[in-house]
A and B are shown apart, each in its own frame.
Chain A
Amino acid sequence: MTRTKIIGTLFVPVIALSVFANQLYRQAAFDLSAWKGGGMGMFASADAPAYRFARVIAETGGQTIHLDCFASDLNDLLTSATHEPSNRNLSNLAQAVLAETWHLHETPAALAPPSSTTASLTSMLVQPRAAARTCPYPPPGGLGNQTVRFDSVRVVFYKLTYDRATSTLSATQEDALDHVRTRSQ
């Protein structure tokens, strides 16, 4: 067999096995989900991206606000933070939330979660670029005039774990990261 044929034959296996090895390494080192990263792990683990999520909690003027309405750039960072919750990815998300200027809206009471306990849900903040389709609570009257920047942000990463014996699905906190606005920000 000629050298060209050997290269042609080995080309795909070398790429595929390198990506596979990288996926296994990142799974062990950075908790990358087995389902992602080219490791052939779809339907291989209960730790799928659908069972990972992050709660983003911001503070401004002593008020706590839970954020869940992101434009695509922040959504990409949120996806990275949940698929591979490394300190770097969680920190990137927190920093991007702090860097954003947010707009205040009234939340329709009927759409607020039933057992909401905090006053923060009487209003909500959205990114100016977040389209209504990405918002679970669409603002009733277009963009408001009030803008705000946060003093600090907490990103809390959770996994949903399932216990077969008791048929219990639990949200377990795996990691949390705080970011406080600095003078330069």
Chain B
Amino acid sequence: MSEPAANSAALESPRRLWARFLEGVGSRSRFEVAAGLTILLTLFFPFDAWYFQITAQLLAIVFVLHPRAAASPLFWYLLALLGSFAIIEHWQPVDNHKYLLVYWLWGLVAAAFFSRDDDRDLILRRTARFMICFIMLGAVVQKTISGSYLDATMFEVILLTDPRFEGLLAVLGIDRHDLALSQALYNDLRAPVPVIAGGEAIMPADERLKAMAVAFTWLDYVIQAVVGVLFLLPGERIERFAHLSLVVFILFIYFIAPVLGFGWLIAILGIALAHGRFPRLTLGYLASFIVLISYQIPWSKVAMELGWLEVMQ
């Protein structure tokens, strides 16, 4: 008779449920936690290639029915190999975070080759640390040499023309009509047949938008440089601060530029490093995982429909 037990579980207090959740996360090995979250990542943010998507879906079913299957190198080898094919097939248009996903899948292959938990942990930790530094410092190098980042040109033109930022700018009080105009000018300049004489257009960039572009430029640059350098340095206190900075980075950057698959991957890398050593920070990463999902809600659209944005302008 299982009914009384089921009832008692349902009546369990939120505090006890939370404690059991923490216990569950803590009792799993670093590899198990990273593997489970990576399977979710390949399922929700896969490559466009049909062969990768189907394999990821089948392997997710295998994982649900038999979690120990993810301990096999073959499990990750299949995903890493097919992800590599997907990149080789279309290496130019593929986003950088898809390259990173493949690197991480190869990291899991390398870790799964070892049977001892300690060895797997070591490979995962080193791969995750390398990848965080690579992502952050690689971006800093590109931004430093690009010639159109540090003077805020990149953010200013992106804010003016990329509709993904429209909601954020509307919330921050930038005139939506100006944004609609700048996007229309951008589209006209790119038209298959020239429609703007001289091929030039003056964009409606007011001082507030220019100031925002400068602020985003330096916030993004400084936080990436800080996170990248902190993860290179030794010491537990520094590492704790590095993780804290990375959580802030995830929550801040992916709110502005919602590339959620990228955000999830960085959170997984953070968990792979923090698990077992910094329980609260591990929870912070898990929370950021969930918060990133909420970034998909079209907040500005909802606010516009409720009339809040009109009031703010």
Contacts and interface: CB of A to CB of B under 8 A. Distances in A.
Nearest to A56: B192
B186 A169 contact: yes
A4 B104 CA distance: 18
Contacts of B111: 8
A121 interface: yes
Contacts of B92: 32, 36-37, 79-80, 83-84
B35 interface: no
B148 interface: yes
Contact of B126 (A9, A83, A167): A9
B139 A44 contact: yes
A160 B106 contact: no
B110 interface: yes
Contacts of B90: 76
B240 interface: no
A113 B147 CA distance: 34
Contacts of A141: none
A172 B119 CA distance: 55
Nearest to B148: A46
11 contacts: A5-B114, A5-B123, A16-B103, A36-B92, A40-B96, A40-B139, A45-B143, A76-B90, A79-B93, A116-B193, A162-B157
B130 A42 contact: no
Interface of A: 4-5, 7-9, 11-13, 15-17, 19-20, 32, 34-51, 53, 55-56, 66-68, 76, 79-80, 83-84, 113-116, 118, 121, 136, 158, 160, 162, 164, 166-172
A113 B96 contact: no
Contact of B203 (A7, A19, A39, A167): A167
B154 A167 contact: no
Contacts of A76: 90
A172 B276 CA distance: 54
Nearest to B216: A43
Contact of A67 (B147, B155, B192): B192
Contacts of B141: 40
A169 B189 contact: yes
Contact of A164 (B97, B119, B151, B257): B151
B44 interface: no
Given A11-B107, A41-B96, A169-B161, 19 more contacts: A5-B114, A7-B110, A16-B131, A36-B96, A38-B87, A38-B96, A43-B257, A45-B148, A46-B149, A55-B194, A79-B93, A160-B186, A162-B153, A162-B203, A164-B210, A167-B203, A169-B160, A169-B203, A170-B189
Given A8-B114, A9-B127, A169 B200 contact: yes
Nearest to B108: A12
B191 A160 contact: no
Interface string B23-53: 0000000000000000000000000000000
Contacts of A164: 151-153, 156, 210
B274 interface: no
B64 interface: no
Main secondary structure of the interface of A (DSSP, over half): mixed
B135 A40 contact: yes
Main secondary structure of the interface of B (DSSP, over half): helix
Contacts of B162: 50
B107 A12 contact: yes
A115 B257 contact: no
A115 to B, nearest CB: 5
A36 B189 contact: no
Interface string B162-186: 1000000000000000000000011
A1 to B, nearest CB: 9
A166 to B, nearest CB: 7
Given A5-B123, A162-B157, A167-B202, A40 B186 contact: no
Contacts of A4: 113-114
B17 interface: no
Contact of B106 (A11, A43, A84): A11
Contacts of B157: 46, 51, 160, 162, 169
Contact of B95 (A42, A56, A121): A42
Contact of A172 (B135, B161, B199): B199
Contact of A37 (B91, B160, B194): B91
A113 B153 contact: no
A5 B147 contact: no
